[in-house]
Structure 1
Amino acid sequence: MKLNLTDQIALITGAAGQLGRVMVRTLAECGADVVIHYRGSLAKAEELQREVESMGRRAFTVQADVTDQASVNAMRDAVLEHFGMLPHIIVANAVESYQWTSVLEQAPEDYESQFQSCVMQSVYLAKAFAPAMIERKSGRFIGINTECSIQNFPSQSAYVAGKRGMDGVYRVLAKEIGEHGITVNQVAPGWTISDRDRENGTEHSASYEASVPLKRRGTDQEIANAVAFLASDLSSYITGAYIPVCGGNVMVGI
């Protein structure tokens, strides 16, 4: 038994970012052809494209603003023109960055940015790509959420608001399109070790790790592994799930 994504096309938004690039490599290693979405990191996106092509997989780099419906639709059209079909797998990974602070100090536009990049990205991607999946009678939507959605710690409010809104969209979407053989799930990373940490020597945090049952931070590869599982046929009867990948730091209640 193995994760086999041969003959599948996967689109990862924010693919040039710290987590996105590992998702790209992992899905390609599982056999998928990859659409590498970026907003401003063209050089990194093109480097990823070369990596994927060196594996013998097809790759296509495309720029889009995922908070703008016309831009998402233009990305859809570009992918269709390039591959002759639309993706089987959508991974909504992109999110706007901002400076975290208290509710009383957080700028209103930060809440807007999180709503647009979490909630509306999910809506625009569904509108653009779900119809082809419905026609095909199969597909995978995978949203990247966060453990913060359960933590609700001070200074997290804008991020939590956006990701909790995203959670609502994904749960409803799972019920609306499940009858067509399409699964809709979320991966919720904890505070994850990425290339930036490895380069800066910041892989460890004693205070954070003390609260995690597994007593360590997770890695970008472990997040990508969960995404690959949900993208594969091994997860064919899982939908509507919010899956923390955080060493048990948060646990979903029943």
Structure 2
Amino acid sequence: MLVTGGAQRLGRVLCLAFAREGWGVICHYRQSDAPARELQAEITRQGGACHILRADLADTAAVAGLADQALELAQPGLDCVINNASEFEADSGADFTPEQLLRAFTVNTMAPLLLTQALFQQVRQRSSPPGCAIHVLDQKVHNLNPDYFSYTLSKLALERAVALQAQAYAPHLRVCGISPGLTYVSGPQTEDNFERARRVNLLRQPLNPEHVAQAALHLAENPALNGCVLPVDNGQHRLPLARDVMFAIDLGLTPR
């Protein structure tokens, strides 16, 4: 299996969780060389198998190269891709630039679509059970606010692609999505802001990234799941906010 952005944060948790369940892991990274090597060593110590591959997902040629390398490394074949890497840059509808919007769509939408297409091209040649692609989205796709404008648009496009790709690639490849809530410090957040914001959900509890990984494993291993998006956010998407939660906290806009 291939996990993009797998060296740190949620990607690292995903790689470790799948490795514990016996999956061979290919960890993609862009700049996190040392964390990627540390992850590889940890999985190896635990008796698992892990390869690491570097690529800039803003470069479509590099994405094609990543797909080729991953398909070659995975023996007897690649069964799963988790499109986890994201470009997350603050902008708004009033100030986004063409460059910001294009980069967000290239990294957050185009790269996942191309990697999933490459997986389909391989699994359609086999008689084994369908492969699985999982797009990591954001609870924001179910709970809109106008902050992080380019990022949000790119994730909305990827959320719609879940159903389209599931239809296009049946019966050879299942395509699902997962929508985590706030899990790690994001953008300009302070630790104090994060500690308050991570409890803005129906359960009023921080989201455990291990639970997100468990949900991804369920999607990957349950052959009946296809074309669906699973929110894993302690119910955060059921609490509409006028601003992104990190800003709503400081503005006093969150429910009490």
Structure 2 unpaired stretches of 5+: 186-190, 239-256
Aligned residue type for 1:230: L
The corresponding residue for 1:93 is 84
Normalised to the residue count of structure 1, the TM-score between the two structures is: 0.84
The corresponding residue for 1:219 is 208
Cα deviation code 1:37-63 (max 9, x no counterpart): 011111111111001111111111111
The corresponding residue for 2:253 is none
Cα deviation code 1:169-224 (max 9, x no counterpart): 221010111222x2110000011147xxxxx577621x6624x1111121211111
Q: Is the 8 A contact 1:39 1:64 kept in 2?
A: yes
Residue 27, structure 1, aligned to residue 18, structure 2: yes
Residue 82, structure 1, aligned to residue 73, structure 2: yes
The corresponding residue for 1:156 is 148
Find the residue that maps to 1:226 and give its secondary structure. Answer: helix
Structure 1 unpaired stretches of 5+: 1-9, 195-199
Find the residue that maps to 2:124 and give its secondary structure. Answer: helix
Runs of 4+ in 1 over 3 A off after TM superposition: 80-86, 200-203
Distance in structure 1 (CA, Å) of the matches to 2:115 and 2:32: 20
CA shift for structure 1 position 243: 0.9
The corresponding residue for 2:225 is 238
Q: Is the 8 A contact 2:88 2:151 kept in 1?
A: no
Distance in structure 1 (CA, Å) of the matches to 2:92 and 2:117: 34
Distance in structure 2 (CA, Å) of the matches to 1:11 and 1:81: 12
Distance in structure 2 (CA, Å) of the matches to 1:216 and 1:110: 33
CA shift for structure 1 position 84: 4.1
Find the residue that maps to 1:209 and give its secondary structure. Answer: coil
After superposition, the CA RMSD in angstroms is 2.3
Superposition pairs of residues 116-127 of structure 1, within 5 angstroms: 116-127=106-117
Query: Which is further off, 131-140 or 43-52?
Result: 131-140
Give the paired residue count.
234
**Identity percentage of aligned residues:** 26
Aligned residue type for 2:223: S
